[in-house]
Structure 1
Amino acid sequence: MSENLRTPLRHSVPWADFDAFAHGDGDGSGAELLSRTELSWRKLGLAALLRALATVPDPVGPLDPVDAAWRLLARVERYAPDVVARLLLHPPAGIWVSHTLRRARGSAGGDGPLWLDVGYLHALAAVAAIRAGVDFDIRIPVRAGAAVLPGLGYATVAPDSEYAEVRGDGNTVVVAAQASRVTVPRSGEASEGWQSPHELTAAAGESRLTIVLDDADPYRDMRQPKPPQPLRGSDVARWRRVLDDAWRLVAETQPERAVGLARVLTSITPLPAAERLRPLSASCDEAFGGIVASEPDDALQLAATLIHEYQHVKLGALLHLVRLHQGDRSRHLYAAWRDDPRPLGGVLQGCYAFVGITSFWRARRARAGPDVDRWLADFEFALWRRQLIRVLDQVSREPSLTELGRSFTGHLVRAVGSWRDDPVPAAVQSQTDAAADDHYGQWRAYHVRPSPDRVVALAEAWVSGAPAGDVDGCREETIHFDPSVRSLDARAVLMRLRVLDPGLFDALCKDPGDAGTFVAGAVAADVAYVRGDLPAARQGYVRLLAIDPGDPHAWLGLGLTMSASGDSVGGAIIRAPEVVRSLALAIARSGQSTDPVDLTEWLRRAC
């Protein structure tokens, strides 16, 4: 190719910025650094894509040659570099580069011919020319009747069109396909057949966040390309209201973090509302600046989501510059925010995100109002502080951490350790301790397998009436990933629901059989446990174990209930749930029936 975009720069991370990132911060100059480096990353990805396409026969189908789109983009870049930089940092553009590169190399499939993906380059070039006022004429692909110009909007054309012709003379831009002809309006204007992006701006004092609510870009959801799915006006209006309030909470609670967040996050791909108190969100290192998020319950939930995904976005960009661990993808680590065993890289990402979230809740406690607001801030802070201590302890001992990774993890450990002595009301601390033990215990019961020989020996001892002997020998364990596991946080969600929506919780108390309808994974005994009816909870869990002696949810519920009653037998379940479950299943396979409380008491004597 005769023309090239400017050569990507060499970048380095100053130690001061690395240390700030490693503390979970890096919101000032660090955010600017990451934006610059991600621009170079995008250029490198684009260069790799162009090299790959040069080896593919006819990669453009009915579109203009790749060279034509490239020359147009390079021509704009020569005298309007800021226009191209902004365009290349459009979050879906990163997903497009990676997706199309994999297709060009034959390592991924697609929903149509390759040229349909390649043509996004032509659409990028067209947008660059429009923003720079350059004359041009180029073809772009059409998906399901939508000719998308990334970041500008899309024209609705004949649904059976394969491509559209986009022409601009510096003043007027027209998108034409078959008999359809749509004029691209100037900013803020309306035009028949044209849909502009939903740009939301939230302000709090001097702090301002501008986000595009992206319902149009083919690569917006970080998976397979899809056509536009227009939001209703009422949905956009609600997002606008909630974002205004969420941004005020972020800016008031953590003004320094708000500075970096406003510099980095540029788009949200909206999803439908998720289950109450269980929001869905995601980000990707290939989509710097963009996140996917379900419609939030309220502003506080969205504030936490913004910080959560902002942390992921920062670390994803940092990992393009430094290596924190060797390439170990095996699933064997506990992540308190997930139901499945995770590889080290995923757990590091989660730790970083939850250090940011926990820091937010810690700061929020000083500003929260009385009663419900303060309870929620105390609960979330105490829960994630406890869980981060647990998870970071295992991460810091991982041998595949690099020297930088050990330094990074050490900073996180010290940041969380500095919060250890922050006082939390005793009642809240008791709830969060139970929630943390519950999730970890169920995870172990599902995914950890103790020594089979020792379990058999214990089962034989129980059947023969002998003492339990050495329980610790059972802890020679292996991880067995169970992909069916879901909703290990059900009792914690009920704890939140009891305070945040007492009307709904009272309704569940009257008809606890509906618990699973409102909180996936919850059972009637959980409602009794959370409301404090411990005898009813104990009876409920024992009944469940009579039906399924290997039910981890019921075993941990029984352990929590007995511990809350002051019965030390419950501690045996919480300390070794995988042993209790495996032993109960082994005894059941032998044809014996057993009372779970008696079995746990027998084990407790050996612990």
Structure 2
Amino acid sequence: MAQLRAILDIVDDDLAAKSGVRDSFRILAEVQRHDPRMVAELLSSPQTGAWAATCLRLLTSRDPDSPVWLHLAHLGSVAAISALRARQRVRVMVPVHAGAVHLPTFGRASIATAEKLVECDTDLGLWLNGAEPAAWESVRTLHSVAGGVPLEVQLDDVDPYWSSFGMPTTGRLTNEEVAVWKDQIDEAWAILGERHPHRLHTLAAALRCLVPVRQDGRIGGVSASSVDAPGAVALTEPMSPVRLAATLIHESQHYRLASLHDLRHLYTTPPTQLRYSPWRNDPRPVSGVVHGLMAFAGVAEFWSRERVDLPTELEYARHIRQLRVAHRVASTASDLTELGRALVAALGTAIDAMPVDTGPEDVRRVADDLVSEHEARWRLRTIVPSPENVRAFGEAWLAGTSLPISHATPPAACAPSGDNPVTRVAMALLEGKFERQKLGDVQFAQHFPGAVSYHVPLVAGDYQVARDDALAYIGADTADDAAWATLSVACGRLSAEPNRSPVVRVPELVRAAFAVIAPDGDLRPLRALLAR
């Protein structure tokens, strides 16, 4: 309601006349008087939210190349579907996108016309310019029941406003593909009902819509939520029911936190500082760190009940370690409000209640290394030491004197990157999917895009080999993030006092000084430093 009011307040008379937005609003208000509950449900749908947010963003940015009037005209489609559901007859102008009229939460109707706007008549059905649609594609609805709790969720592959998720949608799914999604949802809901019944009511209330998206070059399944479209989860075709269940918990946790922040702010904006988040390769404001805490606290609790083999043991071990790191980061943030600090403290209590020293020892070792490798690579990617610090460190390095280490340099903003390839290597080793001695370089690159051969001895615990392999790569490319991160973890494992090792504590400073000392990649100064 607030978004609609804002849209009407912003549009000028020319835009309003061209789009018909005020006439559409009037019709929607008339239907609301007849059936307020149905209209409230429609206005709170993720489809309507995504559209309204798009309009407000375009209206406030004033992009001259954007056909904002055509987006505003989509309110006619909202009014039309409200009338159709209320069994009221209205005539309203609706926009045509790529040869189709889209009715949010309902579907899309094909129409052969060059017009940008057509008349929609809801008399005994749906009529476009006085004729029935040439073809109709409805939004499918999936139903499941577990533990006596029903789940009803739409599978919306036709709405034109899912760009807020930042991922390309799949387009129309075949009936066979829908059947796969249906089976995955049924099994995931059954898993939740059997071992996580305390989640059912929250998930059933929070989830309104699933949006199928494409991989688009990413490895493994991906999912996303958006504050523009609360209740919708964008995700690739589920890899397994158990991972789908974890994904639903993850994204619903984001929506719970976003709703709470809407009611009473948890953090201030704009952020005063970017920070480390163990789930992201780019620096994050405190809001991102708190969202990670909220989402993965639910995911870790899920995996604590799903540990049935080595890969699921690693899922839990990795998440609980990431949570403890993130909680330390969030606890020191100055951007939190009083309520935000209370929430972070409560999440810390929940995290501390989940054991960290559980499961097979080798899995715990791998989890520790994955978390350390991620943080080292994050430092190498985002922290640029000052020239003064690099010079002082390099001079002490060559002189063999005490090494001045500075942590004062703030992280620099950078584009987010994909998932961590080292985690995929670790999962494959634990699943026994390959024998590392028999997998050549070409096969390795095909199986694990983004990973490097030295990641195998790293996750296998062959730290001497991992260190020597990483050094060889550094000699060939002195700026290689992955090689320096592997060197940092391996040296930490091999050192009697890892907390005193600069390559463990500040790998970005060591790399920057090495580039000055040995621009040709001569490893002798670096080997001497490691020997110290």
Verify same fold: TM over 0.5. Answer: yes
Q: Does residue 66 of structure 1 match 2:1?
A: no
Q: Does residue 57 of structure 1 match 2:14?
A: yes
- The Cα shift of 1:160 comes to 2.6
Distance 1:518 1:457 in 2: 43
Alignment of 1:157-236 (within 5 A): 157-158=111-112, 160-169=114-123, 172-177=124-129, 181-182=131-132, 193-222=135-164, 229-236=171-178
Distance 1:103 1:275 in 2: 29
The residue that corresponds to 2:295 in the other structure is 353
- The Cα shift of 1:423 comes to 2.4
Query: Structure 2: any 5+ residue segments left out of the alignment?
Result: none
- Residues 494, 535 of structure 1: CA spacing in aligned structure 2 closer, same or farther, 3 A cutoff? same
The residue that corresponds to 1:268 in the other structure is 210
Per-residue displacement from partner, 1:5-42 (whole Å, max 9, x unpaired)? Answer: xxxxxxxxxxxxxxxxxxxxxxxxxxxxxxxxxxxxxx
Q: Does residue 343 of structure 1 match 2:285?
A: yes
Work out which of the residue numbers 466, 484, 487 in structure 2 matches 1:558. 487
Count of equivalent residues: 530
The residue that corresponds to 1:89 in the other structure is 44
Distance 1:275 1:228 in 2: 13
Corresponding residue SS for 2:15:
coil
- The Cα shift of 1:111 comes to 7.3
The residue that corresponds to 1:38 in the other structure is none
Distance 2:491 2:521 in 1: 27
Alignment of 1:112-123 (within 5 A): 113-123=67-77
- The Cα shift of 1:255 comes to 1.3
The residue that corresponds to 1:530 in the other structure is 459
Task: Report the residue type matching 2:22 in the other structure.
Answer: D
Task: Report the residue type matching 1:470 in the other structure.
Answer: L
Corresponding residue SS for 1:479:
coil
- The Cα shift of 1:326 comes to 1.6
Corresponding residue SS for 1:182:
coil
- Residues 267, 51 of structure 1: CA spacing in aligned structure 2 closer, same or farther, 3 A cutoff? same
Alignment of 1:193-342 (within 5 A): 193-222=135-164, 229-273=171-215, 278-329=220-271, 332-342=274-284
The answer as to whether partners of 1:569 and 1:601 remain within 8 angstroms in 2 is no
Corresponding residue SS for 2:70:
helix
Work out which of the residue numbers 324, 339, 350 in structure 2 matches 1:415. 350
- Residues 408, 451 of structure 1: CA spacing in aligned structure 2 closer, same or farther, 3 A cutoff? same
Corresponding residue SS for 2:425:
helix
The answer as to whether partners of 2:156 and 2:211 remain within 8 angstroms in 1 is yes
- Residues 516, 60 of structure 1: CA spacing in aligned structure 2 closer, same or farther, 3 A cutoff? farther
Q: Does residue 129 of structure 1 match 2:83?
A: yes
Distance 1:591 1:499 in 2: 35
Distance 1:591 1:417 in 2: 45
TM-score relative to the length of structure 2: 0.92
Per-residue displacement from partner, 1:185-218 (whole Å, max 9, x unpaired)? Answer: xxxxxxx611111211222231222211111111
The answer as to whether partners of 2:142 and 2:155 remain within 8 angstroms in 1 is yes
Per-residue displacement from partner, 1:229-267 (whole Å, max 9, x unpaired)? Answer: 212223222211212222222222321212111111111
Distance 1:254 1:121 in 2: 40
Distance 1:424 1:225 in 2: 36
Alignment of 1:499-518 (within 5 A): 499-500=430-431, 502-503=432-433, 505-506=434-435, 509-518=438-447
- The Cα shift of 1:593 comes to 4.9
The answer as to whether partners of 1:204 and 1:247 remain within 8 angstroms in 2 is yes
- Residues 56, 275 of structure 1: CA spacing in aligned structure 2 closer, same or farther, 3 A cutoff? same
The answer as to whether partners of 1:332 and 1:341 remain within 8 angstroms in 2 is yes
Work out which of the residue numbers 34, 56, 68 in structure 2 matches 1:79. 34
Work out which of the residue numbers 480, 497, 501 in structure 1 matches 2:412. 480
The residue that corresponds to 2:512 in the other structure is 582
The residue that corresponds to 1:44 in the other structure is 2
TM-score relative to the length of structure 1: 0.81
Q: Does residue 492 of structure 1 match 2:423?
A: yes
The answer as to whether partners of 2:474 and 2:521 remain within 8 angstroms in 1 is no
The residue that corresponds to 2:400 in the other structure is 467
Distance 1:426 1:420 in 2: 14
The answer as to whether partners of 1:545 and 1:554 remain within 8 angstroms in 2 is yes
Distance 1:207 1:376 in 2: 30
Per-residue displacement from partner, 1:128-174 (whole Å, max 9, x unpaired)? Answer: 111111111112101011111111111111153322322123xx223
- Residues 298, 98 of structure 1: CA spacing in aligned structure 2 closer, same or farther, 3 A cutoff? same
- Structural RMSD (CA): 2.7
The answer as to whether partners of 1:130 and 1:173 remain within 8 angstroms in 2 is yes
The answer as to whether partners of 1:325 and 1:400 remain within 8 angstroms in 2 is yes
Distance 1:58 1:409 in 2: 45
Of 339-348 and 158-167, the range deviating more from structure 2: 158-167
- Residues 68, 207 of structure 1: CA spacing in aligned structure 2 closer, same or farther, 3 A cutoff? same
Task: Report the residue type matching 1:127 in the other structure.
Answer: I
Q: Does residue 103 of structure 1 match 2:58?
A: yes
Of 201-210 and 144-153, the range deviating more from structure 2: 201-210
The residue that corresponds to 2:325 in the other structure is 390
Distance 1:269 1:567 in 2: 48
Distance 2:349 2:10 in 1: 45
- Residues 301, 578 of structure 1: CA spacing in aligned structure 2 closer, same or farther, 3 A cutoff? same
The answer as to whether partners of 1:458 and 1:468 remain within 8 angstroms in 2 is no
- The Cα shift of 1:295 comes to 1.7
The alignment-based identity, stated in percent, is 30
The answer as to whether partners of 1:508 and 1:514 remain within 8 angstroms in 2 is no
The answer as to whether partners of 2:477 and 2:521 remain within 8 angstroms in 1 is no
Task: Report the residue type matching 1:87 in the other structure.
Answer: L
- The Cα shift of 1:120 comes to 1.4
- Residues 145, 128 of structure 1: CA spacing in aligned structure 2 closer, same or farther, 3 A cutoff? same
Task: Report the residue type matching 2:256 in the other structure.
Answer: K
- The Cα shift of 1:448 comes to 2.0
